[in-house]
Amino acid sequence: MRLDVVTIFPDYLTPLDLSLIGKAREDGLLDVRIHDLRDFTHDRHRTVDDTPYGGGAGMVMKPQPWAEALDHVLALDNPSGAKPRLLVPGPGGRPFTQALARELALEPWLAFACGRYEGIDERVYDHAREDLGLEVSVVSLGDYVLNGGEVAVLAMVEAIGRLIPGVIGNAESLVEESHEDGLLEYPIYTKPSSWNGRDVPSVLLSGNHGAIAQWRHEQRLARTAARRPDLLHASHAGGADGGDLEI
Protein backbone atom coordinates (compact mmCIF):
# COMPACT_ATOMS: atom_id res chain seq x y z
CA MET A 1 0.00 0.00 0.00
CA ARG A 2 1.19 3.48 -0.85
CA LEU A 3 0.61 6.29 1.67
CA ASP A 4 1.31 9.96 0.96
CA VAL A 5 1.10 12.54 3.73
CA VAL A 6 1.13 16.29 3.08
CA THR A 7 1.93 18.41 6.14
CA ILE A 8 3.70 21.58 7.23
CA PHE A 9 5.44 19.49 9.94
CA PRO A 10 7.14 16.53 8.24
CA ASP A 11 9.08 15.82 11.46
CA TYR A 12 5.79 15.04 13.20
CA LEU A 13 5.56 11.90 11.06
CA THR A 14 9.01 10.49 11.93
CA PRO A 15 7.49 7.87 14.29
CA LEU A 16 6.38 6.09 11.10
CA ASP A 17 10.06 5.03 10.81
CA LEU A 18 9.72 2.98 14.01
CA SER A 19 8.37 -0.33 15.23
CA LEU A 20 6.00 -2.45 13.16
CA ILE A 21 5.17 0.30 10.66
CA GLY A 22 8.86 1.08 10.16
CA LYS A 23 9.55 -2.64 9.66
CA ALA A 24 6.66 -2.92 7.19
CA ARG A 25 8.22 -0.06 5.22
CA GLU A 26 11.60 -1.79 5.19
CA ASP A 27 9.89 -4.98 4.06
CA GLY A 28 8.22 -3.14 1.17
CA LEU A 29 4.69 -3.69 2.49
CA LEU A 30 4.11 0.04 3.02
CA ASP A 31 5.41 2.78 0.73
CA VAL A 32 5.15 5.94 2.89
CA ARG A 33 6.01 9.34 1.43
CA ILE A 34 5.94 12.52 3.49
CA HIS A 35 5.63 15.87 1.68
CA ASP A 36 6.21 19.38 3.06
CA LEU A 37 3.33 21.65 2.02
CA ARG A 38 5.68 24.63 2.15
CA ASP A 39 7.63 23.18 -0.79
CA PHE A 40 4.60 24.13 -2.90
CA THR A 41 4.62 27.83 -1.97
CA HIS A 42 6.35 30.45 -4.11
CA ASP A 43 6.83 33.42 -1.78
CA ARG A 44 9.86 34.21 0.33
CA HIS A 45 8.05 33.41 3.57
CA ARG A 46 6.64 30.10 2.29
CA THR A 47 3.16 31.24 3.34
CA VAL A 48 0.49 28.55 3.67
CA ASP A 49 -2.27 30.47 5.50
CA ASP A 50 -4.28 33.66 5.39
CA THR A 51 -7.20 35.31 7.21
CA PRO A 52 -10.73 33.93 6.82
CA TYR A 53 -13.27 35.63 4.54
CA GLY A 54 -16.26 36.67 6.62
CA GLY A 55 -14.09 37.21 9.66
CA GLY A 56 -13.58 34.99 12.67
CA ALA A 57 -10.71 33.67 14.71
CA GLY A 58 -7.61 32.01 13.37
CA MET A 59 -6.19 31.41 9.94
CA VAL A 60 -7.20 29.32 6.93
CA MET A 61 -4.86 27.27 4.74
CA LYS A 62 -4.59 28.77 1.26
CA PRO A 63 -5.82 26.69 -1.67
CA GLN A 64 -2.88 27.17 -4.08
CA PRO A 65 -0.16 25.25 -2.15
CA TRP A 66 -2.62 22.41 -1.53
CA ALA A 67 -3.56 22.16 -5.19
CA GLU A 68 0.10 22.00 -6.23
CA ALA A 69 0.90 19.47 -3.51
CA LEU A 70 -1.94 17.22 -4.62
CA ASP A 71 -0.86 17.53 -8.27
CA HIS A 72 2.66 16.52 -7.20
CA VAL A 73 1.44 13.51 -5.20
CA LEU A 74 -0.72 12.32 -8.10
CA ALA A 75 2.10 12.69 -10.63
CA LEU A 76 4.83 11.07 -8.51
CA ASP A 77 5.79 7.55 -9.69
CA ASN A 78 2.34 7.12 -11.16
CA PRO A 79 2.61 6.36 -14.88
CA SER A 80 -0.74 4.53 -14.92
CA GLY A 81 -2.68 7.54 -13.61
CA ALA A 82 -4.00 5.70 -10.53
CA LYS A 83 -5.78 7.81 -7.93
CA PRO A 84 -5.43 7.75 -4.15
CA ARG A 85 -8.34 8.03 -1.77
CA LEU A 86 -7.86 11.38 -0.03
CA LEU A 87 -8.33 11.47 3.74
CA VAL A 88 -8.51 14.75 5.60
CA PRO A 89 -8.22 14.45 9.40
CA GLY A 90 -10.46 16.85 11.23
CA PRO A 91 -12.78 16.99 14.24
CA GLY A 92 -15.70 17.63 11.88
CA GLY A 93 -15.26 14.38 9.99
CA ARG A 94 -16.91 10.97 10.02
CA PRO A 95 -15.72 8.81 12.91
CA PHE A 96 -12.58 6.77 12.28
CA THR A 97 -13.57 3.31 13.49
CA GLN A 98 -12.13 -0.18 13.22
CA ALA A 99 -14.66 -0.78 10.44
CA LEU A 100 -13.32 2.20 8.50
CA ALA A 101 -9.74 1.06 9.17
CA ARG A 102 -10.64 -2.34 7.67
CA GLU A 103 -12.19 -0.65 4.64
CA LEU A 104 -9.16 1.60 4.11
CA ALA A 105 -6.72 -1.30 4.53
CA LEU A 106 -8.10 -2.69 1.26
CA GLU A 107 -7.16 0.45 -0.70
CA PRO A 108 -3.96 0.38 -2.75
CA TRP A 109 -3.24 4.07 -2.20
CA LEU A 110 -4.20 6.59 0.48
CA ALA A 111 -3.25 10.25 0.68
CA PHE A 112 -3.59 12.32 3.86
CA ALA A 113 -3.94 16.10 3.89
CA CYS A 114 -2.96 17.44 7.31
CA GLY A 115 -4.67 20.72 8.04
CA ARG A 116 -3.48 23.14 10.70
CA TYR A 117 -4.97 26.38 11.98
CA GLU A 118 -8.75 26.50 11.46
CA GLY A 119 -8.57 24.22 8.45
CA ILE A 120 -8.16 24.20 4.67
CA ASP A 121 -10.03 26.42 2.19
CA GLU A 122 -13.15 24.47 1.21
CA ARG A 123 -12.39 24.83 -2.50
CA VAL A 124 -9.46 22.42 -2.13
CA TYR A 125 -11.94 19.61 -1.44
CA ASP A 126 -14.13 20.63 -4.39
CA HIS A 127 -11.02 20.74 -6.60
CA ALA A 128 -9.86 17.32 -5.40
CA ARG A 129 -13.27 15.78 -6.07
CA GLU A 130 -14.37 17.56 -9.22
CA ASP A 131 -11.12 18.33 -11.03
CA LEU A 132 -8.86 15.53 -9.82
CA GLY A 133 -11.57 12.88 -9.48
CA LEU A 134 -10.56 11.85 -5.96
CA GLU A 135 -12.80 10.38 -3.33
CA VAL A 136 -12.36 12.76 -0.38
CA SER A 137 -13.26 11.77 3.20
CA VAL A 138 -12.95 13.95 6.27
CA VAL A 139 -12.29 11.67 9.24
CA SER A 140 -12.22 12.34 12.97
CA LEU A 141 -10.57 10.38 15.75
CA GLY A 142 -13.14 11.45 18.32
CA ASP A 143 -15.00 14.31 19.87
CA TYR A 144 -12.09 16.50 20.90
CA VAL A 145 -9.87 18.97 19.08
CA LEU A 146 -6.24 18.44 18.10
CA ASN A 147 -3.99 21.21 16.79
CA GLY A 148 -3.64 19.56 13.41
CA GLY A 149 -4.03 16.33 11.47
CA GLU A 150 -0.54 14.93 12.03
CA VAL A 151 -1.19 13.03 15.27
CA ALA A 152 -4.41 11.70 13.76
CA VAL A 153 -2.48 10.45 10.72
CA LEU A 154 -0.07 8.59 13.00
CA ALA A 155 -3.01 6.89 14.67
CA MET A 156 -4.81 6.10 11.43
CA VAL A 157 -1.72 4.78 9.62
CA GLU A 158 -1.00 2.51 12.57
CA ALA A 159 -4.60 1.24 12.73
CA ILE A 160 -4.74 0.68 8.95
CA GLY A 161 -1.18 -0.56 8.47
CA ARG A 162 -1.43 -3.32 11.05
CA LEU A 163 -4.39 -4.81 9.12
CA ILE A 164 -2.30 -5.27 5.97
CA PRO A 165 -1.26 -8.90 5.58
CA GLY A 166 2.32 -9.44 6.73
CA VAL A 167 2.60 -6.30 8.87
CA ILE A 168 1.72 -8.14 12.09
CA GLY A 169 3.56 -11.42 12.52
CA ASN A 170 0.82 -13.17 14.44
CA ALA A 171 -2.38 -12.59 12.45
CA GLU A 172 -4.40 -14.36 15.16
CA SER A 173 -3.72 -11.47 17.49
CA LEU A 174 -5.79 -9.32 15.13
CA VAL A 175 -8.93 -11.37 15.69
CA GLU A 176 -9.25 -11.31 19.47
CA GLU A 177 -9.17 -7.58 19.96
CA SER A 178 -11.33 -4.79 21.22
CA HIS A 179 -13.57 -3.46 18.43
CA GLU A 180 -13.10 -6.43 16.14
CA ASP A 181 -16.44 -7.94 17.16
CA GLY A 182 -18.13 -5.07 18.99
CA LEU A 183 -17.03 -5.94 22.55
CA LEU A 184 -14.04 -4.72 24.53
CA GLU A 185 -11.25 -7.16 25.37
CA TYR A 186 -11.16 -9.29 28.55
CA PRO A 187 -8.54 -8.68 31.28
CA ILE A 188 -5.22 -10.49 30.82
CA TYR A 189 -2.58 -11.76 33.25
CA THR A 190 0.90 -13.29 33.13
CA LYS A 191 3.30 -14.86 35.65
CA PRO A 192 3.65 -14.81 38.58
CA SER A 193 0.23 -16.21 39.56
CA SER A 194 0.45 -14.28 42.84
CA TRP A 195 2.00 -10.83 42.85
CA ASN A 196 1.98 -8.19 45.55
CA GLY A 197 -0.80 -10.04 47.37
CA ARG A 198 -2.95 -10.16 44.23
CA ASP A 199 -3.88 -13.47 42.62
CA VAL A 200 -4.68 -14.25 39.02
CA PRO A 201 -8.36 -15.33 38.79
CA SER A 202 -8.34 -19.05 39.60
CA VAL A 203 -10.37 -20.04 36.54
CA LEU A 204 -7.40 -19.06 34.36
CA LEU A 205 -5.22 -21.62 36.20
CA SER A 206 -7.88 -24.34 36.05
CA GLY A 207 -7.03 -25.77 32.64
CA ASN A 208 -10.79 -25.84 31.93
CA HIS A 209 -10.93 -24.21 28.51
CA GLY A 210 -14.72 -24.03 28.41
CA ALA A 211 -14.84 -22.28 31.78
CA ILE A 212 -12.06 -19.92 30.71
CA ALA A 213 -13.89 -18.99 27.50
CA GLN A 214 -17.11 -18.39 29.43
CA TRP A 215 -15.34 -16.25 32.07
CA ARG A 216 -13.65 -14.19 29.38
CA HIS A 217 -16.92 -13.60 27.56
CA GLU A 218 -18.59 -12.47 30.79
CA GLN A 219 -15.68 -10.13 31.48
CA ARG A 220 -15.99 -8.66 28.00
CA LEU A 221 -19.70 -8.01 28.49
CA ALA A 222 -19.21 -6.48 31.95
CA ARG A 223 -16.36 -4.30 30.74
CA THR A 224 -18.26 -3.11 27.68
CA ALA A 225 -21.35 -2.34 29.79
CA ALA A 226 -19.24 -0.36 32.29
CA ARG A 227 -16.99 1.54 29.90
CA ARG A 228 -18.76 1.64 26.56
CA PRO A 229 -22.49 0.93 26.98
CA ASP A 230 -23.02 2.57 23.58
CA LEU A 231 -21.31 -0.42 21.94
CA LEU A 232 -23.90 -2.82 23.34
CA HIS A 233 -26.55 -0.93 21.39
CA ALA A 234 -24.36 -0.29 18.35
CA SER A 235 -26.41 -2.48 16.02
CA HIS A 236 -29.56 -0.41 16.79
CA ALA A 237 -27.71 2.90 16.57
CA GLY A 238 -26.73 2.23 12.97
CA GLY A 239 -23.78 0.02 13.81
CA ALA A 240 -20.89 2.41 14.40
CA ASP A 241 -18.69 -0.62 13.93
CA GLY A 242 -21.04 -3.04 12.26
CA GLY A 243 -20.50 -5.77 14.85
CA ASP A 244 -23.46 -8.12 15.20
CA LEU A 245 -23.64 -8.84 18.90
CA GLU A 246 -24.66 -12.24 20.16
CA ILE A 247 -25.20 -11.63 23.84
In the complex with ligand 6GU, the residue whose CB is nearer, 32 or 88, is 88
DSSP state of 203: G
Residue 153's contacts (CB-CB under 8 Å, 6 or more residues apart) are 5, 7, 13, 89, 112, 114
* Closer by beta carbon to ligand 6GU, 150 or else 167: 150
What distance in Å separates the CA atoms of residue 123 and residue 129, rounded to the nearest whole number? 10
Residue of 152, 163, 183, 231 that binds ligand 6GU (CB under 6 A): 152
Segment near ligand 6GU (CB under 6 A); pick from 25-33, 71-79, 147-155, 170-178: 147-155
Number of residues forming the site for ligand 6GU (CB under 6 A): 13
Specify the residue, 22 or 93, whose C-beta has the smaller distance to ligand 6GU: 93
Q: How far apart are alpha carbons 53 and 4 in whole angstroms?
A: 30
Task: Based on the shown chain and the rule CB under 6 A, indicate whether residue 167 belongs to the binding site for ligand 6GU.
Answer: no
Looking at 56, 58, 133, 142, which residue binds ligand 6GU (CB under 6 A)? 142
Specify the stretch interacting with ligand 6GU by CB under 6 A; choose among 8-16, 89-97, 175-183, 219-227: 89-97
Helices (H), 12-122: 19-26, 63-75, 98-104
105 touching ligand 6GU, by CB under 6 A: no
Q: Does 141 participate in binding ligand 6GU (rule CB under 6 A)?
A: yes
Q: Does 84 bind ligand 6GU (CB under 6 A)?
A: no
Neighbours of 22 (CB within 10 A): 15
Task: Please report whether residue 137 would count as binding ligand 6GU according to CB under 6 A.
Answer: no
Question: Is 148 marked as a binding-site residue?
Answer: no
**In the set 65, 148, 161, 182, which binds ligand 6GU (CB under 6 A)?**
148
Q: Are 29 and 36 in contact (CB under 8 A)?
A: no
53 or 144: whose CB is closer to ligand 6GU?
144
Spell out where the chain has E strands. 2-7, 31-36, 49-50, 60-61, 85-95, 109-113, 136-140, 194-195, 198-199
Rounded least distance, CB 58 to ligand 6GU, Å: 12
Residue from 144, 196, 207, 244 in contact with ligand 6GU (CB under 6 A): 144
Contact between 92 and ligand 6GU by CB under 6 A: the answer reads no
DSSP label at 244? P
**Residues pairing with 136 in the sheet:** 86
User: What CA–CA distance (Å, rounded) separates 21 from 74?
Assistant: 23
| Parallel, antiparallel or unpaired: strands 85-95 and 109-113 | parallel
Footprint on this chain of ligand 6GU (rule: CB under 6 A): 89-91, 139-142, 144-146, 148-149, 152
